Structure 1
Amino acid sequence: MIVLPEAFVRVTVDREGPAGSAWLATLPATVRELAERWDCTPDGDPLYGGVGIVVPVQRKTTEPAVLKVSFPHPENRFEPDALSAWGGRGAVRLHERDDDRFAMLLERAHPTTLAQAAEGDEVATIAGSISRRLAVPAPAGLPRLQDRAAAWEEQLLRDAQDFPDALQSRMVQAATATVRELAHHQPDTLIHGDLNARNILAATRESWLAADPKGWAGDRAYDCGTLTKSRSVVFAEQRDLAKGIHRTLDAFTSAAELDRERARRWAQLGAVQAAYGGRRRGFRRGRHGSERARLIALVDELARILTDL
């Protein structure tokens, strides 16, 4: 029987409450049953991400793989659809799936992430190249980002009313304009949806492979905003936030073959949404106290920089 990492248990219960505790109680048995069904044997200590556990396994074909089981959340539902559509093109391969249990058997990559192995412009260049390779027609049935546009605008208006002194009005106006001008009509292109450097893994078949996609259809420039926001923590620690953001936009859009201004606007919208979301709910890496306050200050500054570019 697998032993669940204590940190994963703690974070899951903190985020999901009693539902998380109930899911964790059944998780070891779920992993055992799936391993038996898919003819594989545990082959190392479990790893974990934000919402799921990853168990290294050895398939009967002697091929190394991983068994991933995620907490049953609607935003995790389309991950196997995205991986299936890519078929290993720039992303880990999908071998088996159990949608009812939010479980998959996947190609095994290395545990080293792009965030750990690369620095500076190289991170954005590799992520941009991955984004370009993942750009394929979205399968039918995937959620469309454009369907969220009306809710995004309503939320921005509500946030501005509830937190009137949080952000300058020009920052909120710029984010609202992006929703109105870019979000309502988007291409049916499959995008990752959470393309940060921790979701790009070193691999053997290719140098780098994407993992943990949301599986949305929309504007590829949206993914630049996700990367920019995640990189801002690194740049802030290096006391180089503005310059780092400039260079990230340049490197990502060049490698991804995207319009820089369009990517900047998506990134600015994401930063404004994060600034308000942090005030309402906290952040994954800082839900309370001084860390939450530090991250709110960071995304506020990120939103200002992206508005002024």
Structure 2
Amino acid sequence: MSAAAPGQITVPDRLTRNVTAVRPEEADRWLAALPALVTAELARLRLTLDRVLDPGGSLALVAYVHRDDDLAPAVLKVSLRTPGTAHEAEALTAWAGRGAVLLLDSAAPDPGTTVLLLERLHGEIPLRSLAEPKAMLEATSLLHRLWTPVPAEHAFPGLPVPSPSAAAPDLPAEAGPLLAEAEEAAAALAGSATEEFLLHGDFHHGNVLAADRAPWLAIDPRPLAGERAYDLARLTLDRADTLVGSPGLPAAVRRRLHQLAEALEVDRDRLRGWTLVRAVDLAGAALTAGRRPDAELYLEFAGAL
């Protein structure tokens, strides 16, 4: 039997919360239709459901499946289509498995939904499972492979015009100087970039998994066309707790910036600027989501910059 009945497909609680937060006006309809849609895709692609992953993706139902034709394992990912997720299939097609999970099939059953069939990686072994020095070494090697020229006539969005002040209502008053500096850096950086590459958009250790055909492969891109320092800034902020919890935080942050910029031949000043902007942005998002400890962590990291 290649398809599970809709009642067998349970939507993870995290997905329900996130979709409701992102699209409150259509969340109930989209979530209610999701089990039947997954069942239809299982039948269309001739797949057998193994299990739905919980918590799965932040805006996607993710399921382990097997292909009926050859019993090969795969992953079915059914995502809410947002500006961030809209071009995932195009990026994976451009990379063609080089440094990233391999796309086996894609579809858009309706304007608000994207369906991806992906090779199965070892979801239980993220790059985060390695010690930080080794993880950073693997991450920089992988990121270097992902930074490729954007395809001709591509549809990838450019870097978002950053507006750290959008987080102002949620940020504590003492973050005012950081907010002002991030606002100034965002304006300067957005208008002075001189390169354009295909970027992952959300590259960190949690979005890299162990694989069979390569040691590590990236997943869950939020693809953009822009400068490499923007992409590297997200990796710079990864495992911020290990630096914030260590003595000599400013010196530790400077070392990380220097090491990553040198390893990937990225301008250090631009990396510092984008890291500040993205740290303040992540802090605001964490506060909005009720994750105050995460917000405080990003603000402390930003202060050390």
Specify whether residues 64 and 189 from structure 1 end up closer, same or farther in structure 2 by C-alpha distance, changes over 3 A only: same
1:187 corresponds to which residue?
195
Q: Which structure carries more relative contact order (alpha carbon 8 Å, separation 6+)?
A: 1
Q: Secondary structure at the match of 2:139?
A: helix
Alpha-carbon deviations, 1:212-231, whole Å to 9, x = none?
Answer: 00110001111222123332
**Aligned counterparts of 1:161 and 1:198: Cα–Cα separation in 2:** 29
TM-superposition CA deviations, 1:9-58 (whole Å, max 9, x none)? 34544554352232221111111111111122112343412111211111
Alignment of 1:218-257 (within 5 A): 218-236=226-244, 242=250, 245-257=253-265
| Corresponding residue number in structure 2 for 1:64 | 73
Q: One-letter code of the match for 1:118?
A: L
1:124-273 correspondence runs (5 A) = 124-139=136-151, 140-145=154-159, 148-149=160-161, 152=162, 155-156=163-164, 165-169=173-177, 171-184=178-191, 185-236=193-244, 242=250, 245-273=253-281
Q: TM-score, normalization: structure 1?
A: 0.82
Q: Secondary structure at the match of 2:118?
A: strand
2:135 to 107, 114, 123: 123
> Structure 1 or 2: larger helix share?
1
Q: Conserved in 1, the CA contact under 8 Å of 2:237 and 2:279?
A: yes
Residues 43 and 58 in structure 1, CA contact (< 8 A), matched pair in contact too:
yes
Aligned residue identity for 1:2? I
Aligned to 2:123: 111
SS in 2 for 1:138: coil
Contact 1:200 1:211 (C-alpha < 8 Å) held by counterparts: yes
Conservation of the 8 A alpha-carbon contact between 2:237 and 2:275: yes
Pair 1:22 & 2:21 matched: no
Q: What is the 5 A alignment of 1:18-57?
A: 19-47=26-54, 48-57=56-65
Cα separation, 1, equivalents of 2:218 and 2:15: 22
Question: Secondary structure of 1:182's partner?
Answer: helix
Partner residue in 1 for 2:103? 94
Superposed CA deviations along residues 207-266 of structure 1, whole A, max 9, x for unmatched, are 100010011000111122212333213444567754653444344334433233322221
Instruction: Kindly indicate whether the alpha-carbon contact (under 8 Å) linking 1:125 and 1:251 is maintained by their aligned counterparts in 2.
Output: no
The structure carrying a bigger strand percent of its residues is 2
Paired residues of 2:127 and 2:216 also in contact (CA < 8 A): no
CA distance in 2, matches of 1:31, 1:192: 26
Describe the shift of the 1:239–1:17 C-alpha distance in structure 2 as closer, same or farther (beyond 3 A).
Answer: farther
Are 2:98 and 2:146, in contact at CA under 8 Å, matched by a contact in 1?
A: yes
Q: What secondary structure is seen at the aligned counterpart in 1 of 2:228?
A: coil
Shift in Å, 1:162:
9.1
Asked whether the equivalents of residues 244 and 300 of structure 2 are also in contact (C-alpha less than 8 Å), the reply is no
Q: Which residue of 1 aligns with 2:294?
A: 295
Measured in 1, the distance between the counterparts of 2:41 and 2:247 equals: 46
Cα distance change on mapping 1:97 and 1:159 into 2, 3 Å: closer
- Tell me how far apart the structure 2 counterparts of residues 158 and 56 of structure 1 sit (CA, whole Å): 38
The gaps in structure 2 that reach 5 residues or longer are: 1-7
8 Å contact from structure 1 (residues 46, 56) kept in 2:
yes
Aligned partners of 1:164 and 1:49: how far apart in 2?
Answer: 30
Q: Secondary structure at the match of 2:51?
A: coil
Give the count of matched residue pairs.
Answer: 290
Q: Cα RMSD (Å) of the superposition?
A: 2.7
CA shift for structure 1 position 191: 0.3
Structure 1: which 5+ residue stretches go unaligned? Answer: none
Q: Within 2, Cα distance between the matches of 1:254 and 1:84?
A: 29
When residues 97 and 192 of structure 1 are mapped into structure 2, their CA distance, relative to the original with a 3 A threshold, is: same
Matched residues in 2 for 1:249 and 1:114: separation?
23
Counterpart check, 1:81 vs 2:90 = yes
